[in-house]
Structure 1
């Protein structure tokens, strides 16, 4: 009900992305967060508790704990509890670093919603996308198995997949895999930036493996059409048709349509915004405000309500050509288009996917079968590939 009121009134943020840290044990090709936010000092738990109170006061419904890799913070369960204590729903995100012990602590703190990054069912390709780290795909599968085993029956789990030049034919496999194991899928197209202007989720595409040159546009079109057909078949692809069509427009440089019912701008900060590791409010994951507005500051609710934040944010949103960072477009679409709003309600409240308790071996078999049915090939995990680095641990 709180979320519904937010989407209907559009006067309280439904959703906030909180970048806990820029630290990460991977170096994914499509992510520059370790560069974009590297200078931002992380908040302590006291500041985060105050921030959670302020977010609750202005009506925030959902917070996504993102990074970097959120699970490098050993106080993550305390961070989750800071939000659940004030009735804010928490979604955790991980690349597979999460240990069983940490996941159990997060569940005890009230975290029952998780997403894991997975871009392919081909282990060697996933390892390459993740920066050349051996067995990062295996680590993600192990975490998926743990989630399915220990999370409560009413838990929500998603695979986050980035559409990029390397994996145009792979996302249909990920959707089939997710459906088989009781997960959902959310897709984001790769965004490209430059070293002169690094942004958190915009890749440096020096090698030409992330972006979408004109010659691959027909392949992108085919991929989008397959994904839409999978949605029609009832597979667990969260994204709306409206959003999927805008992925193609984004890739091919056409004007985006998801903002057309709001004067061609996004809904930040009315429905969503982002927070950097140091607690400063951001327009989104791309843009910092010129003025510093620490969300943990006692006056933040006043700043939000008196219009100063909105005025400064709109100077960015009016000039922005638009992004396709999944959650932002989909929340606007859900708030402004009736059909997607109904689909969201049904997905989360009437027919939510049910996690299937499967072992790692069973997950591997499902993935291998899906891959074989499409390609006729079985990948040999013992065959040397392009991934040559071991997945590291991070001292906290």
Structure 2
């Protein structure tokens, strides 16, 4: 982690007024059709920003003291100019991370991205069962390509002090597999971030959430939920690479049962999102038509009127447990989580991992699956 990033994170924790974490959906397109995600339909009418506009955006984010920028989508690898996008932000001193499904990566592309300044990535991976995963993504062969992608990233990303990882959406479809996925991530030197599935109501107007009842837990399944989350906490205490804080894990379990949250969103003070067209969003799920490319945006962002208008939107939201937002709020407002994160940071900084070939990853998966047989 860069010195600038550490200083801005500390400033955010002390002042609660630095947007240290931002997500930018660089693409409105996706090569998967995941059953619990509506982002593709929500954003299909948007026009993606070109490089000159993204360069302006990079300057704005630096002026706002943004520390960490997540490039997401849609699927960011669908952009042929992704390496140049990474380079534009990295030159401004931002810590750039890529959130991808990993399917489109190849050796030349991963070299191009790392040469541009990419050092960390999170890859979506929800199941050891190839058939189940292909059903979730609605694309045959997606599971196998993701394993190939994980192998390539393991070979080309930095081997020391790297917190690249796997994003797993936890739902009734894969709850029993979560401990195995944790073991897999740890075995290969990756971290795993466990995000509870977000299911909207039929009348809700969210960008990402979708009405997907097949992923929802019913009351008869709460015992399984309690048992698996107790196992997750136990594994984290034993040193497995679970990225989430203990508080996040506890509140995620309750969110999966009730849909209720127990924390207060700090957008736009500590974080926000950006749409493919360059619109400011309080988060990935709340749309606006506010362009960040307006000449006076930085001044507007710091105005009382702007902040109050965004806070009105946030206060009307039912809340979320997307990993990024609550974890930043916990870090900046909960001393216990701050200390936990500080200790995690020391461990991560000293961690090392080895590169893996595709066949080696398949072998590890089979070993883990065989333990249960």
- Do these two structures clear the TM 0.5 threshold for a shared fold by scoring above it? yes
- Is 1:169 matched up with 2:176? yes
CA contact (8 A) 1:35 1:198 kept: no
Q: TM-score, normalised by structure 1?
A: 0.88
Q: Indicate the SS of the match to 1:161.
A: strand
Q: Distance in 2 between matches of 1:144 and 1:253?
A: 34
Q: Distance in 2 between matches of 1:203 and 1:356?
A: 38
CA contact (8 A) 2:68 2:94 kept: yes
- Is 1:210 matched up with 2:215? yes
Which protein has the bigger helix share? 2
1:318-357 → structure 2 map (5 Å cutoff):
318-352=315-349, 353-357=351-355
Q: Report deviation, 1:39.
A: 1.4
CA contact (8 A) 2:166 2:192 kept: yes
Q: Distance in 2 between matches of 1:26 and 1:195?
A: 22
The aligned counterpart of 1:358 is 356
Q: Distance in 2 between matches of 1:254 and 1:30?
A: 15
Q: Indicate the SS of the match to 2:122.
A: strand
- Is 1:233 matched up with 2:238? yes
Residues 173-217 of structure 1, C-alpha deviations (whole Å, 9 max, x = no match): 111000000000111111112565453331231xx3212222222
Q: Distance in 1 between matches of 2:26 and 2:35?
A: 20
- Is 1:250 matched up with 2:255? yes
Of 37, 52, 56, which residue of structure 1 is paired with 2:58?
A: 52
CA contact (8 A) 1:51 1:296 kept: yes
The aligned counterpart of 1:393 is none
Q: Distance in 1 between matches of 2:110 and 2:163?
A: 14
CA contact (8 A) 1:164 1:190 kept: yes
Residues 45-80 of structure 1, C-alpha deviations (whole Å, 9 max, x = no match): 111111111011011001110111100000101111
Residues 344-367 of structure 1, C-alpha deviations (whole Å, 9 max, x = no match): 233334434423211111111111
How large is the RMSD of aligned CA atoms in angstroms? 1.6
CA contact (8 A) 1:51 1:297 kept: no
Q: Distance in 2 between matches of 1:142 and 1:82?
A: 28
More deviation in 56-65 or 311-320?
311-320
Q: Distance in 1 between matches of 2:234 and 2:86?
A: 37
Q: Indicate the SS of the match to 1:63.
A: strand
- Is 1:272 matched up with 2:266? no
Q: Indicate the SS of the match to 1:42.
A: coil
The aligned counterpart of 2:36 is 30
1:381-396 → structure 2 map (5 Å cutoff):
none
Q: Report deviation, 1:123.
A: 1.8
Where in structure 1 are there 5+ consecutive unaligned residues? 260-264, 377-396
Q: Report deviation, 1:255.
A: 4.2
Where in structure 2 are there 5+ consecutive unaligned residues? 1-6
Q: Are residues 98 and 8 of structure 1, via their aligned partners in 2, closer, same or farther at CA, if it must alter by over 3 Å?
A: farther
The aligned counterpart of 2:192 is 185
Q: Distance in 1 between matches of 2:300 and 2:346?
A: 34
Q: Distance in 2 between matches of 1:203 and 1:372?
A: 34
CA contact (8 A) 1:48 1:296 kept: no
Question: Aligned residues, how many?
Answer: 364
